[in-house]
Structure 1
């Protein structure tokens, strides 16, 4: 079989992604993931220390890559237009949350499971707060570069943008047509609206 020719780590990630999507993170056990990957549970733990680490790797390697985009932009503030960069971020974030929400949603049905999961994420230095902190860091870098207004609350701006992207993943299922706003238009509108509150006004940019 083609899947058997893939490296074990790749098979495990593929199986974890499929199971987390179909049965939810809470019910996707390492035993079932290993079975679906065609390996032993002991073999799974050679590559991943816990199911939580496996979950984080699925998010970072199988879903739209948000963190590398934010890291790259933060390293080179002033590159491209601020509106263009925020549009890229919003688009990637919207797609990331759209694909990650069905995986993580089952956690919210069991408070005890959610607490255990959050504790495990803290131990490995992961969690859903990190993209907000990364976007905040990017906006602060642009603030230093003079493209974001000096008095702008960059953390609030990051929370607003990513919060809207996360909400898009589930808030529109009950609308008459049950369709999410198209991602490209959605991202562009978010970026333009956010810029109205944080960008440097033309008069402020004059020496």
Structure 2
């Protein structure tokens, strides 16, 4: 497949601004991410920024749509892989991708959700039939139904519930990592903080998939 041509001119400037905004939203939060800070990070003037974007809200919504890893898109390809490898192997790869995705997305998505105007703008930009926060679990449930039809998952299992359990567990771990990161002053939290460190992600992934699948796998 041919590589995309390099960005030039206005498209390159827009990309630099969106990249800068994404870095700032993740590192200092949405409240402190002003247009002045975005322009400084992008290496341009605020006047240049406003030539390409109506306001800060437009930048934030564009970042959410264009600067997060393509997690749902990856899951959309999963149903076609039903019957290959093993169910455990596929779910392990899903969890390995989900935890870092939500860890990166949570600060930005949480800030947008806290603003009624930003949340409304975010919803308005979505075609909910093909995109939105519900799509990862929807794609995963579709894959699990395909595996169920092949007899590789018990017919007694609710694929939608199983998908929500895995995605929800990954989301929760991402939140806990962010919550406890740098929280050395939290008395009694040492054990939890150690368990949710990034270095322990693989152990979490394997244990979670095993716990979910052992009661439901066929054979």
TM over 0.5: yes
Matches within 5 A, 1:52-201: 52-60=61-69, 65-107=70-112, 110=114, 113=115, 115-125=116-126, 126-171=131-176, 173=180, 175-176=189-190, 178-179=193-194, 180-181=196-197, 182-200=200-218
Give the Cα–Cα distance (whole angstroms) in 1 for the partners of residues 23 and 59 of structure 2: 17
**TM-score (ref. length: structure 2):** 0.72
Give the Cα–Cα distance (whole angstroms) in 2 for the partners of residues 149 and 116 of structure 1: 44
- Aligned partners of 1:83 and 1:191 also within 8 Å: yes
1:98 Cα offset (Å): 1.6
- Please give the secondary structure, in 1, of the residue aligned with 2:210: helix
Cα RMSD of the aligned pairs, angstroms, is 2.9
- Aligned partners of 1:34 and 1:44 also within 8 Å: no
1:156 Cα offset (Å): 1.0
Q: Point out where structure 1 has 5 or more consecutive residues left out of the alignment.
A: 203-207
- Aligned partners of 2:83 and 2:150 also within 8 Å: yes
After superposing the two structures, state which structure 1 stretch, 190-199 or 34-43, moved more: 34-43
* Deviant stretches of 4+, over 6 Å: none
Give the Cα–Cα distance (whole angstroms) in 1 for the partners of residues 77 and 51 of structure 2: 36
- Please give the secondary structure, in 2, of the residue aligned with 1:198: coil
How many residue pairs get aligned? The number is: 188
Q: 1:75 to 1:29 in 2, by over 3 A?
A: farther
1:184 Cα offset (Å): 1.0
Q: 1:143 to 1:53 in 2, by over 3 A?
A: farther
Q: 1:135 to 1:59 in 2, by over 3 A?
A: same
Give the Cα–Cα distance (whole angstroms) in 2 for the partners of residues 145 and 29 of structure 1: 52
